[in-house]
Chain A
């Protein structure tokens, strides 16, 4: 039931037969979580607040920056340096004190996403990076939640509703049905790197808010099974149909445990791969060999590549042929991968870890070149000791 205050406030909704009392009550009883209180998040939050969505959650761990003010219309100059989710909550509560607003001033992770999402019926994605987009998509697929998604690039935007359950209880396509895998790191850029016209997130964000209201009230055609492409420079609107792709849906984590184990930064290639390759110094390898530690040495240099290092002779597989000889590489003891300078061996480790799930590989730092320098130093040292 709506209160007298609510009846007065939402009068223009109540006048529409498509919304009316029933629709406004649905809005009051609904809950929407907005991920990212940036360019897209601001208009989404402002219109959903004004529309009387009963509970709104705001996830953002960022602070207001001066360069945000050109498009992130919830923030004032005096808000620079303050928490976006806190400022947004404060402003929105003033706009509509009749609704509940929760600010979640933390980074969305695989550890907290499922718990945060479970408190809301509709999820809105206005984030600015692919790893969060795939994480949000997968969490929605896992929990069966509707995802209203928007994204922007310079003068263009995309809007779609993913994982939407229709009246026949069939789920629509997910983000992965459209883009099964993330783009390479070099080709993915953000507003902070390439710029964006300030009005654009306003256009796309209000389209997103419109979809949210339609979904809650249960009216109109939902942008499910299609993506709307907006070009604000040519002033064109295109829609492209998307089908649910069972292969793509299957590639999402199938249970909470698998989801929590996912590393979306790694999946999207935004994590520095160098950190993932464990290195071992020539000193350490020398100590391992001297103490007869049970290790395998894998030399990925080309056949006949010099110098030949007798003490490192073990398994030899040139990097180009490594996929053909996977079974020769041990999995249950440490494998030290070697090349001339440490670059090819790093690539070999990345390939073996990513494609064949090896967990036991170490890169000889500086390769054979450093090894020889180190052993020359050792020999000199030994000679000195002898004399």
Chain B
């Protein structure tokens, strides 16, 4: 199963792309672990995970076709 992930703000800079596909993850915990393994610098950044337009609850299951958004806080004004 492949999950499409949109990265906002500084996270896109860290990963080098604003959208990536991640394979073989079935919940948000494994997704986060895989992201941190593939992009270790992400661990320095705070972000929330939204699945299909909702902020994910603790370890939410992922289904094919889900759009996942990784959202960091911005402070610029």
A residues sitting closer than 8 Å to B (CB atoms) are 36, 38-41, 125-130, 133, 150-154, 156-158, 178-179, 181-184, 186-191, 196, 201, 227, 229, 231, 234, 238-243
Contacts and interface: CB of A to CB of B under 8 A. Distances in A.
The listed residue with most B CB atoms (<10 A of its CB), out of A40, A153, A158, A178, is A153
Contacts of B46: 179, 181-184, 187
23 contacts: A39-B77, A130-B75, A150-B77, A151-B73, A151-B76, A152-B74, A153-B9, A153-B76, A158-B73, A178-B55, A181-B46, A182-B46, A184-B46, A187-B44, A188-B75, A189-B10, A190-B76, A229-B8, A238-B6, A238-B53, A241-B50, A241-B54, A242-B55
A190 B75 contact: yes
B54 to A, nearest CB: 5
Given A178-B55, A183-B45, A234-B18, A240 B50 contact: yes
Interface residues of B, number: 21
A201 B74 CA distance: 13
A298 to B, nearest CB: 30
A240 B55 contact: yes
A206 to B, nearest CB: 14
A373 to B, nearest CB: 37
Considering the complex of A and B, which 6 residue pairs feature the smallest CB-CB distances, nearest first?
A151-B74, A183-B46, A153-B74, A128-B77, A152-B76, A240-B50
A134 to B, nearest CB: 10
B76 A128 contact: yes
A151 B10 CA distance: 13
A64 to B, nearest CB: 15
B62 interface: no
B71 interface: yes
